[in-house]
Amino acid sequence: SDTDLTSVLAGARLLPVLTVPNADAAAPLAAALVAGGARCAEVTFRTPDAEQVLKAMAAHGGLTVGAGTVLTPEQAERAVAAGARFVVSPGFDEGVVSRCRELGVPVVPGIATATELMRALRAGVGTVKLFPAESLGGLRTLRALAAPFPQARFVPTGGIGADLLAGYLAEPSVMAVGGSWMVTTAHLERGDYDAIRRLTAEAVEGSTP
């Protein structure tokens, strides 16, 4: 299932991270992301409506929608039931990884240290989320962590904005970059789907060679 993940994330290179308070936003948000050229998105399990948002966005078509902030095996189950095609977690939990494997859905666990990366690799995970990337030291830390683990692929996320996107994507170890800068709470509160579309289009443009 790492192959599926590779085709989605490595092809897209950009993973918009969405925290959506209200399921009413799902359809216009999906439309804005698709119009901006996004190919996938991560719906975080941080809001009560997350499952409904995921369902609606997956139904919209045109986007490969995954679940984020998945902390427990039970949440992984709910995410997949709601239509998640991949699962992202801020940290590494063996229970989450093994449940995702049982469910046949690719999982991208978070790591912040070499020890966590070694655990993930031992669990058969080849692609990890470096989180929180900028707070951990950004590119310098990514390069230092990637050096001893040439088999690992990274999805750095956390504190990354449009200005830092190209630098991360230029790293051979980076499969894709995640971030919420294209879809903020303020955008959603204002219903500013035009800004979402524009910021997504700029990021997509900045992430394709």
Q: What does the angle CA 155 – CA 160 – CA 166 come to, to the nearest 5 degrees?
A: 75
Strands annotated E in 4-113: 14-18, 40-44, 64-68, 87-88, 107-108, 110-111
Q: Give the integer Cα–Cα distance in Å for 164 and 179.
A: 11
- Cβ distance 89 to 96 under 8 Å? yes
Which region among 29-37, 74-82, 154-162, 199-207 touches ligand 3PG (by CB under 6 A)? 154-162
116 annotated active-site:
no
Q: Is 89 in the site for ligand 3PG (CB under 6 A)?
A: no
Work out which of 16, 66, 68, 109 binds ligand 3PG, going by CB under 6 A: 68
CB of 186 to ligand 3PG, least distance (A): 13
- Cβ distance 70 to 103 under 8 Å? no
Q: Where are the alpha helices (DSSP H) in 68-161?
A: 73-81, 94-103, 114-122, 138-146
- Cβ distance 81 to 100 under 8 Å? no
Q: Is 158 in the site for ligand 3PG (CB under 6 A)?
A: yes
Query: What single-letter DSSP state applies at residue 69?
Result: S
Query: What single-letter DSSP state applies at residue 159?
Result: S
Quote the radius of gyration of the chain (alpha carbons, Å): 16
Give me the 94-113 binding string for ligand 3PG, x by CB under 6 A, dash otherwise: --------------------
CB of 200 to ligand 3PG, least distance (A): 14
Query: Whose Cβ is closer to ligand 3PG: residue 102's or residue 190's?
Result: 190
Query: Whose Cβ is closer to ligand 3PG: residue 66's or residue 90's?
Result: 90
Q: Is 180 in the site for ligand 3PG (CB under 6 A)?
A: yes
55 annotated active-site:
no
Q: Is 69 in the site for ligand 3PG (CB under 6 A)?
A: yes
Interacting residues toward ligand 3PG by CB under 6 A = 17, 44, 68-69, 90, 157-160, 178-181
* Residues marked as catalytic: 42, 129
